[in-house]
Structures are given as structure tokens and as C-alpha cells.
Amino acid sequence: MTAAVTTAPLFKRVALIGFGLIGGSIARGARVQGLVGEIVTTARSEKTRARVAELGLVDRVVATNVEAVEDADLVILCIPVGACGPVAAEIAAHLKPGAIISDVGSVKGAVVRDMAPHLPDGVHFIPAHPVAGTENSGPDSGFAELFINRWCILTPPDGTDPEATAQLRAFWAALGAKVEIMTPDHHDLVLAITSHLPHLIAYTIVGTADELAQVTESEVIKFSAGGFRDFTRIAASDPTMWRDVFLANKDAVLEMLGTFTEDLSKLTRAIRRGDGEALFDHFTRTRAIRRGIVETGQDSAAPDFGRPHANLAKKGE
């Protein structure tokens, strides 16, 4: 079932442990690009495995993690961060010598701490985090283009074979990603502000709206185009994945939360005191960051993120 390729595949056999948004997107992208000889995958539930088999995107769907990693040159754990330690323990004895073991978790310090002790000498452990996603999850949610122009951060431990790192870098680059290398600790700080705190804030405000006595849920939904709806997208993300992220990156998240709370108090005080100048100054500064994000291609320059607009003519009489 391998797609026709003109160049030699980067890996003969890749094992994807987990087939959600990220695992499914890796499989689709690798297939489209002809990056691997064979893709073997597994998932925890029988239902997901059946659906993956039906989708026909991989060469084999197997029942256990141990079977999946057999003879694989690249093993990628595409599962919630909290499950990485136990899975590493489970597969450790079955890894092929010389294989690259990686993951896609949104936290790196905890993943290194949980996985590294189990892994045998002779395999290359290179944690990775593709900074890409959508609010959807499950085997049907992936798409081959997910990683294009997004960053993938690798956090190879000191002493990692540069050859292995280069090989994993080439794999992610071929999926369309730009690759950056940093330490696990720095990764966790950067992601705490660019991803974890935004998700926590979004989850909070959507919950707040849900519980208000004075405003009905249907009013919140109806008038959400005033700004609220932008928060609901990321507050619809996978609950298991995000529970694990906050538990695993506790320290960095609490630190960012502290700074955010101070800043919110400052703006709250400006509102209470009617200090229009302080508000105006703050609101002017924040436009520059948006500009940077659009200029570097990390978001669409079209208004409303390029959301589709209806056609007025169709509604005319």
C-alpha cells in the first residue's frame, strides 16, 4: 500500500503509537511525501484501531504497542503526555537497536523525566514537539498539511548522535515543518506562554460564561461574534491531552499565570479608576505582536483569520 516515491524513504519502518490528530497527520503527510517504507500504528481502543484500518492510511494496524515497535527505525509516541512514561516502560525491551524514539508532547521536561529512565542504551531518544494543531481530535481529524510552515521543536539530550538528530529533522522538514532545537526547560517556558496559558484562559472564560446567572447560554452563543467565539475554538480541544499538559508543566504555567494575573490587576485598576490613558497605551502596544505573527506567516492576514463570509447578494430581495 506504499505510495509511489521517486526518492529513497527516510525510514524503512515507522511506528506511530496513537492515531489522533497528530499521529493521523504524520501518517497522512508521510504517505503523501513518500517518507517511509512502511507505517505501523496502534491505538488504545479497539474502536479507533478498527477505524484506522478502515481509513487505509497505514500499512498495518496492530493490537499492542509492543507489536507496533517491532523492527521500527522510528517510533513516535503520539499520545497524551501523561501516558508517555508507562508506554516507554512497556516498549523499552522491544525496541530495535539504533532506532530513534520520539514523541509529540506539548511538554518536554516531564516527558524526558518519565521516558528516559526506561530506554535502553543503543536507541536514540529525541523528544519532539510539533507546534501545530486544531481543536479537533480522533483518527479522522488529521490532515497531511497540518505541519506546513509550523515549527517543530526538538530537545535532544546532551550527547545525542548528531546523525540521528539530523535524520529526525529531515523527517519533520519533509512534512513541511521548520525545525528548531532547544532545551526541554526553555521549551516548557516558551510553550507555557504561547500555548498553555492561552488554553487555560480560554477554558476559564468559556466556563465563566457557561455559569453566569444573568446571561443565558443562548445569549452567549448568539452574541459570541463580539469576540468570545475566538476563545471557544481552543477551549474545545481534547480534555485528556490538556489535563496532562497542565499537570506536567505545572511550574512554568503557574509562573506565567502569576505574571498574567498581575497584568490583569493593573488593567482592572485602570478601568476602576477611569484611567483612559493607561488603557489606550496598553491597547496600542499589543497591535505590534499581531503584526509580527502575520508577517512571519503564523496566521492569516485576512480579517477574522480569513473566516468565510456569506454573500450579501444572495440575501437581497
Give the three-state DSSP class for 149: coil
**Chosen residue from 98, 122, 157, 292 binding its own copies by CB under 8 A:** 292
15 versus 189: smaller Cβ distance to its own copies: 189
The beta strands (E) that lie in 78-231 are given as: 100-103, 124-125, 128-130, 151-154, 178-181
**Cα Rg of the chain, angstroms:** 22
Q: With contact defined as beta carbons under 8 Å apart, do 152 and 130 qualify?
A: yes
What residues from 87 to 126 belong to the interface with its own copies (CB under 8 A)? 106
DSSP annotation of 145 reads T
Tell the smallest beta-carbon distance from residue 93 to its own copies (Å): 29
Containing 228, the helix (H) or strand (E) segment is: none
Tell the smallest beta-carbon distance from residue 140 to its own copies (Å): 11
What residues from 72 to 91 belong to the interface with its own copies (CB under 8 A)? 82
Rule CB under 8 A: say whether 55 interacts with its own copies: no
Rule CB under 8 A: say whether 284 interacts with its own copies: yes
**Chosen residue from 66, 151, 167, 183 binding its own copies by CB under 8 A:** 151
Rule CB under 8 A: say whether 160 interacts with its own copies: no
Q: With contact defined as beta carbons under 8 Å apart, do 27 and 58 qualify?
A: yes
Q: With contact defined as beta carbons under 8 Å apart, do 300 and 294 qualify?
A: yes
Pairing of strands 100-103, 124-125: parallel
Rule CB under 8 A: say whether 167 interacts with its own copies: no
HEC string for 107-124: CCHHHHHHHHHHCCCCCE
What residues from 189 to 248 belong to the interface with its own copies (CB under 8 A)? 189-191, 193-212, 214-215, 217-237, 239-240, 242-244, 246-247
46 versus 289: smaller Cβ distance to its own copies: 289
Rounded distance, CA 247 to CA 205, Å?
Answer: 20
Number of residues that bind its own copies (CB under 8 A): 128
**Chosen residue from 71, 120, 161, 290 binding its own copies by CB under 8 A:** 290
**Chosen residue from 87, 132, 154, 168 binding its own copies by CB under 8 A:** 132
Tell the smallest beta-carbon distance from residue 71 to its own copies (Å): 27
What residues from 30 to 49 belong to the interface with its own copies (CB under 8 A)? 32-33
Rule CB under 8 A: say whether 283 interacts with its own copies: yes
47 versus 307: smaller Cβ distance to its own copies: 307
Q: Who contacts 129 (Cβ-Cβ below 8 Å, separation ≥6)?
A: 103, 104, 105, 106, 108, 152, 153, 155, 187, 191
